[in-house]
Amino acid sequence: MGYDLVIRGGDIVDGSGLPRYRTDVGVIGDRIAKVGRIAERGAREIDAEGHVVTPGFIDGHTHMDAQINWDPLSSPACYQGITSVVMGNCGFTLAPSRADARGMVVKNLERAEDISAAAMALGITWGWETFPEYLDYVDKLPKGLNHAVYVGHSALRTWAMGERAFEAEANADELAAMCSELKSGVDAGAIGFSSSRSFAHETADNHPVASRVGSWDEVRALVGVLGDMGKGMFELALGGQVPDGLEELAIETRVPVTFGVGAVGGTSWREQLQMFDRVAGLGGRMIGQTHSRGLTILLSFQSGLPFDKLPSWAPFRALPLAEQERRLRSEPELRAALVDAIHNEAYPRALSAEPRRPKWDLIEVRNGALPPYRNLGELGREQNRDPAEIMIDLALASEGLSQIFVQNIAPYPEEDLLATLRHPRTVMTFSDSGAHVSQISDCSIHTYLLAYWVRTREQFTLEEAVRMITLVPAATWGFADRGLIREGLKADLNVFDPATIAPDTPRVVHDLPGGSRRYLQGATGIRATVVNGQTLMENGAHTGALPGRLLRH
C-alpha cells in the first residue's frame, strides 16, 4: 500500500477523549488509511516524535464571508491549527444578493461586523444572486481551510424586500420568497439559518441591521422551514436577553438552536445553561457557544483607543503615527491636555465599534499571549499615578507605539468561565474570526485553551481539551467524516508540541484590500497542519497547498 503521507511516531490524541497512544498515521488521498505501525515510507513524511497528533481544530463561529474572497488562507485561523470553519453567523452573509442591490449587503456588514466597505469593494468579485449560486462560487474559490455556510437573515431580507428590509415587517409574499430561498439554500448545502437580535448590530447610519427589523413570527416561519426539511441549525446573535419564545421554537421545530453563552447584559450564563438542560428534557436541543478567555477588545495606538473620537483626541489621532509619537515625547502641554480629555470630555454612546469611558481595572497590559496580566488600574494604584499616563508611557516604550492593551467587555471570574466550558451542552468555538479584525483576534481561543487551561491551569486533560475543539464541534455541526482520527475519515490533522503550543501576541498589519489594518496572530509549537490529506502549514509557514473545500450539509 503506497501512502501519500505518513505521520510517524507521534502520540495520538484522537479526539474521542480516550487516553493517548503512540503510533503512526498513514494517509492516502484525502483520507486516513491506517492508524498503526507503518513500516514503509510515505511519499511525504512528518516526524511527530515528541509531539501529539490530533484531528484538525474546528471553529463554528466565524465571519470569513468577505475575507475568503481575498485571503485563501483565512488567516490568522490557519496559524492556530484550525482546519474547518463555519461562516455566515449572526445573519450576515453575502448571499442571496440581487445584482442591483449589492450595497444593501454591504450596509448590513460594514459597521456591525467592522468590515470596511472599501475593502469589500476592492476584494469581492460579485458573481451570484441566489444562495445556491453563492455556494457554487465558494466551492470554486481557492481555499486553505474547509468552509461551511449559513443562510443569513439580513441578506435574505434585503434580497426579498429591498430597502424595506431596514424599516418594515415582511408582507406575506416577501416572507414566502424568503422561505423559498432559504429552502433552496439548504437543499444546495447551506448548514442552516442564522439571524441577529443584538442591539450592537447596526448599520453605518445608526439603524438596526435588516434581521433586527423582522418580527419574531418571521423568525419562527424561517426556522420552521428547517424543521419541515428535517435538517440544518439555527444560529442567533442575542442582544443579551434570550428572546421570548426561543425555547418553544427549539422544542416545537426540533431544529438545533445555538448562540453565544453569557452575552453582555440580560439573561445570565447560569440561566442559559439551565435552559439548555430544560429544553433537552422536553425534546429540543440548544447548544451554547463558549469562549476560552472571555470577550475582549485589543487596543493600541497602531489600531484604536477608547478615546479616539473625543474632540481633543480626534485631530491628534488623525496625524501619522510617527508624528503622534514625536508630539507625545516633546510636547508636555499637549500630553497633559490629552490625559485631561480622557477623564473629562463626553464619550459617544457605547456600541461594539465605538469608544466607551475607560474602566482601568478592565484594561490589561498585554506582554505575552498568556496570563498573568496586569491591569492599568492596579498599576496606577501601585505607582500612585494616573492610569492614562501609564498607558501612554508604556506605548512610548514600545517600538512604533505598538504596545497592546486589552479591554475586557464581558469579564468572567475564572470559575464562571470554567463552568460554561465544562457544561455538556456547550462547545468552545466563539471566535468571530473574520469580523472586528481591527479590534479583536480571537482565532487563538483554541491554542489558548491548550496552553492556558490545559498546561498552565491543569483544569482539563489534553485529551479532554482536544475533544472539545474537534469531535464536539464536528458532531454539533454535522461533520460526520471529521473530528476523529479513524481509518476512513477525512485527514484533517494537527501535529503539535503540547509543552510549547501557545498563541503569539497579536500585531497590527495593513494587508486588507486597499491597505486597511487588522490584527494578525500566529502561534508557536505547531509543527504541521494537514487539511484533506495535504500539508497546509508547516512550522508556521504556508506550504503553498490550498486543499480546503466547501462543506455542504
Give residue 239's pLDDT band: very low, low, confident or very high (50, 70, 90): confident
Q: Are strands 57-59 and 82-87 parallel, antiparallel or unpaired?
A: parallel
315-326 tens-digit pLDDT: 999 999 999 999
What is the Cα–Cα distance from 467 to 471, expressed in whole angstroms?
A: 5
When the pLDDT of each residue in the chain is averaged and rounded to a whole number, the result is 94
5-23 tens-digit pLDDT: 999 999 999 999 999 999 9
Handedness of CA 433, 436, 438, 439 (dihedral sign): negative
Mean pLDDT of 324-352: 90
Q: With a cut of 70, say whether residue 460 has pLDDT above it.
A: yes
What is the Cα–Cα distance from 69 to 543, expressed in whole angstroms?
A: 20
165-206 tens-digit pLDDT: 999 999 999 999 999 999 999 999 999 999 999 988 988 888
Q: Which helix (H) or strand (E) holds 24?
A: strand 21-28
Q: With a cut of 90, say whether residue 138 has pLDDT above it.
A: yes
Q: Please, where are the H alpha helices in 89-245?
A: 102-110, 117-123, 131-140, 153-161, 172-187, 210-213, 216-229
16-74 tens-digit pLDDT: 999 999 999 999 999 999 999 999 999 999 999 999 999 999 999 999 999 999 999 99
- Helix orientation angle between 332-344 and 321-330, rounded to the nearest 10 degrees: 100
pTM: 0.96
What is the Cα–Cα distance from 61 to 85, expressed in whole angstroms?
A: 7
Q: With a cut of 80, say whether residue 411 has pLDDT above it.
A: no
Please state the length of the chain: 553
Torsion of CA 15, 17, 21, 23, to 10 degrees: -10
Give residue 295's pLDDT band: very low, low, confident or very high (50, 70, 90): confident
**Contact indicator for 320, 302 with CB cutoff of 8 Å:** no
Least confident stretch, 128-142, 261-275, 483-497: 261-275
365-387 tens-digit pLDDT: 998 889 999 999 999 999 999 99
Q: Are strands 52-55 and 404-408 parallel, antiparallel or unpaired?
A: unpaired
Mean pLDDT of 88-116: 90
**Contact indicator for 216, 243 with CB cutoff of 8 Å:** yes
Number of other residues whose CB lies within 10 A of the CB of residue 126: 15
Q: Which helix (H) or strand (E) holds 149?
A: strand 146-152
Domains contained in the chain, CATH given: 57-292+412-458 (3.20.20.140), 297-408 (no CATH)
Q: What is the pLDDT of residue 309?
A: 92
Closest C-alpha to 255, from 199, 196, 186? 186
Distances (CA, A) of 289 to 86, 237, 531: 13, 11, 24
Q: With a cut of 60, say whether residue 94 has pLDDT above it.
A: yes
Mean pLDDT of 481-490: 98
Q: With a cut of 60, say whether residue 483 has pLDDT above it.
A: yes
Q: What is the pLDDT of residue 364?
A: 96
Mean pLDDT of 416-425: 95
What is the Cα–Cα distance from 39 to 2, expressed in whole angstroms?
A: 11
DSSP for residue 4 = S
Q: Which are the contacts of 305, defined by CB distance < 8 A and separation ≥ 6?
A: 299, 313, 317, 355
Could you tell me which residue, 180 or 296, shows the higher pLDDT?
180
Percentage above 70 pLDDT, the chain? 98
Mean pLDDT of 535-540: 98
Give residue 349's pLDDT band: very low, low, confident or very high (50, 70, 90): low
On the CB side of 416, how many CA atoms lie within 13 Å of its CA? 13
Give residue 79's pLDDT band: very low, low, confident or very high (50, 70, 90): very high
What is the Cα–Cα distance from 388 to 483, expressed in whole angstroms?
A: 46
What is the Cα–Cα distance from 249 to 253, expressed in whole angstroms?
A: 6
Q: What is the pLDDT of residue 241?
A: 81
Q: What is the pLDDT of residue 350?
A: 52
Beta bridge partners of 202: 208
Q: With a cut of 50, say whether residue 353 has pLDDT above it.
A: no
